[in-house]
Amino acid sequence: MDEQLIQTVTDRAKEWLSDAYDAQTRKDVQAMLDKEDKTELIDGFYRDLEFGTGGLRGIMGAGTNRMNIYTVGAATQGLSNYLNACFADLPQISVVIGHDCRNNSRRFAEISADIFSANGIKVYLFEDLRPTPEMSFAIRSLGCQSGIILTASHNPKEYNGYKAYWDDGAQIIAPHDHNIIAEVGRVKTSDIRFEGKPELIEIIGKEMDEAFIEKLKTISLSPGAIQKQSALKIVYTPIHGTGVHIIPACLRAFGFNNIIPVPEQNVISGDFPTVHSPNPEEPAALNMALAKAKETDADIVMASDPDADRLGIAIKNDRGEWILVNGHQTALIFIYYLITRWRETGKLKGNEYVVKTIVTTELIKVIADRNGVALFDCYTGFKWIAAIMREMEGKMQYIGGGEESYGFLPEDFVRDKDAVSSCALMAEITAWAKSQGKSLYQLLMDIYVEYGFSREKGISVVKKGKSGADEIQEMMRQFRANPPKEIAGSPVCLIKDFSTCVASNPQTGEVSTLEMPEKSNVLQYFSQDGSKVSIRPSGTEPKIKFYIEVLGEMKRRDDYDATISKADDKIKAVMSSLGL
């Protein structure tokens, strides 16, 4: 083990034994120092938590690399300092604070409220847990300059997080993120103003819920179909999280009256007692909802993650079997429906656009192109979709945007992915399809027949701690130094390296510049047969992620199984080409 590293983290940890820290924190740090195995000490102190694609996120506990009242406090003090500098001319700066169901989330939210108010900033604090998208809506609705939500989204129960938002209701990006990090870096524990000013803290709740739902009703495109299918059987689970009340309320407001709960998962708990991981991307997270769907012969299953920004769905195939729909397919269904209904209702005027992330299925571009709708590609993380929305505001009309990791946003008055509106809209799409004599599964098949077939696979390689971060860095270096010449037998014809924002054709030597807002540690390889491979380290978890997409052709619905089998064989060949 690196002796210099151990000495560095030991020195950092000893600073946490001073009277500036509470008794329990000092006790926890001393226990780490006393242990012969220094792994926990290193992981807790080898770095400071930083804002990534999802803000501040980490395991709860003592240490500079952990979520605790001091790292949250420093983040809030640094953000307060920055807000006071940026908006010095305003008579009153204000922020919104929300939180999810996680252990310590309410505590972190209340401590943050105290710190903001101690710095003269007006705070709108939600009375109880609320979805991330509602917090984004509240920033815009109340005219605030910033907002935070305490959540680790879909991460395991050991984690918590802190997402910071700007005045447009979107997650903070450059230059503000770097400036805030610099401010936070200058904050000493003794600088954190923990003594709040109660007169600057206002509790909000039901009135914001009502305003949010009322606004969400305006995105409905097929009220007639909902009226016909109001008894649609919808199984919904919040997986112990913030969607528990507001998503059923929103579904009812849209006109659906047959919402079937999963009672065991309606229990609000940061321990997520019925699941290993509260992530709708994980098949096991939907097991209880699927059992309920079979029992009730439901039309659709929907699940949201703990902060209700991600949506997972399951549908019945033509054999009556329940199948999980991946994030690419969900985004595909949304974009297809929105563009189709905008066209059918005369809303397409020629200046509309949709957004997807660079790792999301290319079929979305095919649909957009054929319908004369502009498509913007952006980095992974919904803050980049929101950045395009901000740039296009007043110039072009937003239709919808999504990413493969189960996030979608069908409205422009929120600036983060939204499972509340997505649940309501997906139920509407199911009703719309049923009104035409189709199941949602058959609608997906028809999209493939009309626009082409794609099959996607995501692979995450977990590498924990400091050693894991080093391994991930070396893997990325190797892929850059030795890029594959072919993918599953098809020559690589385009390499995009977003760390330099350069695209190159290895066959012709042709080089071009990628127009992106900043550089990012992402690599993409495209082959002549249309296959796409994307590689990037996760911004929020100790993982390196591989995204594979292969194309195919479906002439009719019945070809689906055979087309999938062929595509899966090709994906295996792609994995072999990458050494996975």
The residues that are catalytic are 153
CB atoms within 10 A of CB 124: 22
> 301 has which bridge partners?
235, 314
**497-524 burial: b if 16+ Cβ within 10 Å, else e:** bbeebebbeeeeeeeeebebeeebbbbb
Element (H, E) at 377: strand 374-378
User: What is the identity of the amino acid at 523?
Assistant: L
Strand order in the sheet with 300-304: 259-261, 234-237, 300-304, 311-316, 322-325
As a whole number of angstroms, the distance between CA 548 and CA 523 comes to 12
Secondary structure of residue 511 in the 3-state scheme: strand
Per the CB < 8 A criterion, the answer to whether 498 and 519 are in contact is: yes
Identify any residues that bridge with 310 across adjacent strands, giving them in sequence order: 407
Torsion region of 565: left, alpha or beta (phi above 0 gives left; psi -120 to 50 gives alpha): alpha
Residue 160, classed as helix, strand or coil, is strand
Amino acid symbol at 407: G
DSSP one-letter string for 183-236? HHHH--GGG------GGGEEEE-HHHHHHHHHHHGGG-S-HHHHHHTTT--EEE
Round to whole Å and give the CA distance between 428 and 226.
6
